Structure 1
């Protein structure tokens, strides 16, 4: 309930009187009179009929819900689309340039590691780089294994990415396989982004010469144990529509891997880690591996570093 202005003034004056009276006559200071008994009824009526408009709490709305359809930046909303600023501002002058009017780039070495398993030691790498703007960018992905100083398997993809939804990019381009056996080139089409509950997902389909097709699914998740200690489980699955014995690949589900890495971030840009990874080959791919005298499954201990700039 609002206190009438006249009553508030009376209370304020009473408090001042209490303060000054307490300083000069601490023993004889009278108790303040009730505001209701001091003010006439007409004064209270005048205040309550004031022209001041009451606050409309119904007009206040909390932010939330899905992003607006015209949000400028699909990765981190920059706003400003409907504010008449940046390249959408009327008139010849442009007072503000927003992030999606500039080109940026980044390189992430997701894993640069040394692994030890039953088949011996090997070095592994995985990286992703991009350059462009918020909606359109060039993406480079590469990963491979080096054993005994020899490139055993490598996959390199050069893609064009376009943001079609918040935190999701469509990607199309080329993939090139090298290493043991003949080289292969594929047309690649896929999506990459952040799924609900913060799962990072990368799904790509491939079409190659001779009617070859393939599908690769990758997912990972980051668990922040502390502000610097991060646990990262990950998994990867590969499917091929047609056997390729020259590359030691059968049809159907060919191989899968699952691992977990624990890293310590000295900074967000640099973090060494240790972990363990399990790999297995399936179906006709496993049969080809047995024929070649290779293992169909292996558990590897890994240690490496993750950094980006």
Structure 2
């Protein structure tokens, strides 16, 4: 029996696979200005231990990139549906770059809500956090509505980056996609973003709106 168990583990228990998910690759329009955004992630490993990478960012066509980030994470499953993740994040902004230590969780909550939450400690000692929640509501076998919400928090004011303490930004949106294939789906959507507290004051001092609504058109793919 012991020998058979070893053979079973060798053949089926240590399979390493990977995947890449492009959640958002889109063109955006807000107040007559055209921009772009992306949100992608991927992983490689087994059922328990995995390496994850994540990247997201945005900007306006013909202008300097507004913000981009890249994460490299070690992930360990601690329940059948959730992983603990830790690693490093590098962010790029015109106002200043940061390197952050990342600690977070990612997984599937009850009622099929996808959750990704993390805290970030920068190389300058700044503590921030972000939580994202999304849900796929199938209208037909191919047509899917995906509501999504994201909240950003900060333990202190970071004037250089235009971030205020407490609740800094809230983003709520929905995207309607059509799966031509399971691996490829164009979509349209709308997204509302609002800044709060000192983050709002920093934005207005720089001549930016504290609230905007953008229309998005893009594709979602995985392989």
TM-score bucket (shorter structure): over 0.9
Q: Which residue of 2 aligns with 1:103?
A: 16
Q: CA deviation at 1:249?
A: 1.2
Equivalent residue, structure 1, for 2:71: 157
Cα offset, 1:277, TM superposition: 0.4
- The residue correspondences of 1:226-305 to structure 2 (distance < 5 A) are 226-305=140-219
Note if 1:147 corresponds to 2:31: no
Worse-matched range after superposition: 244-253 or 260-269: 244-253
Higher helix fraction (1 or 2):
1
8 Å contact from structure 1 (residues 261, 273) kept in 2: yes
* Structure 2 counterpart of 1:175, from 89, 106, 111: 89
C-alpha deviation, 1:97, in angstroms: 4.4
Over the residues paired in the alignment, what is the CA RMSD in angstroms?
Answer: 1.6
| 2:140 counterpart SS class | coil
- Runs (5+) with no aligned partner, structure 2: none
**TM-score with structure 1 length normalisation?**
0.69
- Partners of 2:183 and 2:61 lie apart in 1 by 30
Q: CA–CA distance in 2 between the matches of 1:288 and 1:180?
A: 15
2:30 paired residue number: 117
Q: Runs (4+) of structure 1 moved beyond 4 Å?
A: 83-86, 95-99
Q: Distance in 1 between matches of 2:147 and 2:211?
A: 19
Cα gap change, 1:132/1:215 in structure 2, threshold over 3 Å: closer, same or farther?
same
SS of 1:211's equivalent in the other structure is: coil
Q: What is the deviation of 1:225?
A: 0.5
As a proportion of its length, which structure holds more strand? 2
SS of residue paired to 1:227: coil
Q: CA deviation at 1:157?
A: 1.1
TM-score, normalised via structure 2 length: 0.95
* Structure 2 match to 1:69: none
Q: CA 1:85–1:126 in structure 2 vs 1: closer, same or farther (change >3 Å)? A: farther
> For residues 84 and 112 of structure 1, do their structure 2 counterparts lie closer, same or farther at Cα, with a shift above 3 Å needed?
farther
The answer on whether the counterparts of 1:85 and 1:96 sit within 8 Å (CA) in structure 2 is no
* Partner Cα separation in structure 2 for residue 264 and residue 85 of structure 1: 49
Alpha-carbon displacement from aligned partner over 1:238-278 (angstroms, at most 9, x marks no partner): 00112111111111111110000000001110000001000
Is 1:152–1:180's contact at 8 Å kept on the other side of the alignment?
Answer: yes
> CA–CA distance in 2 between the matches of 1:85 and 1:198?
39
The one-character-per-residue Cα deviations of 1:119-177 (angstroms, maximum 9, x if unpaired) are 61110000011011110010001110021332101121110000010111000001111
Once residues 129 and 245 of structure 1 are traced to their aligned partners in structure 2, the CA distance between those partners, rounded to angstroms, is 33
Q: What is the match of residue 5 of structure 1?
A: none
Following the alignment from structure 1 to structure 2, what is the Cα–Cα distance between the partners of residues 85 and 147? Answer: 61
